[in-house]
Amino acid sequence: MPSFQIKSKNDYLKLVDEVSEHDKHYYEECRPLISDYEYDFLLKELERAEKEHPEWKVAYSPSSRVGEGVSKGFEQFAHERPMLSLANTYSEEEVADFLKRVEKLLGKTGIVYCLELKMDGTAISLRYEKGLFVRALTRGNGKIGDDVTSNIKTIKRVPLRLAGAFPETIEIRGEVFLAKKNFQQLNRQKEEEGEEPWANPRNAAAGSLKLLDSKEAARRKLELVCYGLDREEKELFSQFQMHQRLKKWGLPVAAKEHLAQAANLKEIMAFADKIQKQREELPFEIDGIVVKVDDLRLHEQLGATGKSPRFAVAYKFAPERAETKINQISLEVGCTGVITPVAELEPVLLSGSTIARATLHNQDEIERKDIRVGDF
């Protein structure tokens, strides 16, 4: 692995030249001098330097070839239909507004909704032709995505052939994610190697899909869950039932207990509450639930605004954070004799509970974060 540190503009300019040289070898001469992995590393270093020192950035930097959402090093393809994103809501009132809007647009009440988890990963579209897996594209800019087929193939749960009766061509939409356990392990490893850890599993999943070396991607143990199709499907009228259909084709879908149908706001909020209570124990990260009009025939009718469809909305859980004062630090002796430092807090309301104490884990952690009495 190249080892250097960018400390000055001069170092930065040298890196610009170096990456440009590699680009030339790779794209013009098709004879790379370094591995894809090393290249990826250099490009990341370059981007990091530009982020930290935007004043250094030169117009001819190879990083500027990386367009919005699509990256170099990958072939790009258009999505059969655009990949949209979801509008977010953060409160019961906003969800209520969404339901009202849907009813108003459709001119009727009694709409059924399909409830799903909002996976904290990165969107993917899988294309099957005659039942055979041909390509996987990232969302990219919504219209054009990066071809990350070889990295997606490292996910064992991705069927290379669909089972049963399937349409001539179809694009299946889903989410690529990392289990919490794998994410933590990946970050530990990154830190051991002196690299910056990923901020969250979503970045880690997206970053892993963009690895130029599929062997490395395979080591990341990516996972997939599917939740959508790019078009109508024969005799399929319900989003809720779509998961069954996807499963029959052999695709991974959400667990039964993570899907529901709801007829009103109360049922939606009850599902959200139930999921929020399970959130910590789930083996993967979620950041809320998704509420979709269940009747697929209404989706087209509802249309879209800008980048988001009107048939669905994300209800995001409030971040479980609050600020309060540390009044005291006490030591607690557990039944196995382990001593744990505990912060005695000025009581604060957090996700519906009053919190007055919080573990500080151990002395190392206290020193690392420089935690003291009186701190907030």
Active site residues: 118
- Least distance to ligand IVH from the beta carbon of 312, Å? 5
Q: Are 131 and 166 in contact (CB under 8 A)?
A: yes
Closer residue to ligand IVH, CB minimum distance, 62 or 309: 309
Closer residue to ligand IVH, CB minimum distance, 89 or 182: 89
> Residues in the site for ligand IVH, rule: CB under 6 A?
84-86, 116, 118-119, 123, 139, 175, 227-228, 290, 309, 312, 314
The one-character DSSP state at 26 is I
Closer residue to ligand IVH, CB minimum distance, 57 or 79: 79
Closer residue to ligand IVH, CB minimum distance, 101 or 361: 101
Tally of CB atoms within 10 A around 326: 17
- Least distance to ligand IVH from the beta carbon of 177, Å? 9
Give, rounded to a whole angstrom, the gap between the first and last alpha carbons of the chain.
Answer: 41
Residue 119 identity (one-letter amino acid): M
- Least distance to ligand IVH from the beta carbon of 120, Å? 7
Question: Residue number with the shortest CB distance to ligand IVH?
Answer: 123
Closer residue to ligand IVH, CB minimum distance, 123 or 211: 123
- Least distance to ligand IVH from the beta carbon of 12, Å? 33
Residue 145 region by backbone torsions, left for phi larger than 0, else alpha for psi between -120 and 50, else beta: beta
Q: How far apart are CA 328 and CA 68, in angstroms?
A: 48
Q: How far apart are CA 273 and CA 117, in angstroms?
A: 12
Q: In whole angstroms, how far apart are CA 190 and each of 85, 193, 276?
A: 30, 5, 30
User: In the sheet that 122-129 helps form, which strands lie side by side, from edge to edge?
Assistant: 132-138, 122-129, 169-177, 223-229
- Least distance to ligand IVH from the beta carbon of 304, Å? 8
Look up residue 337 and give its two tokens: 């004799």
CB-based contacts of 349: which residues, under 8 Å, 6+ apart?
A: 322, 355
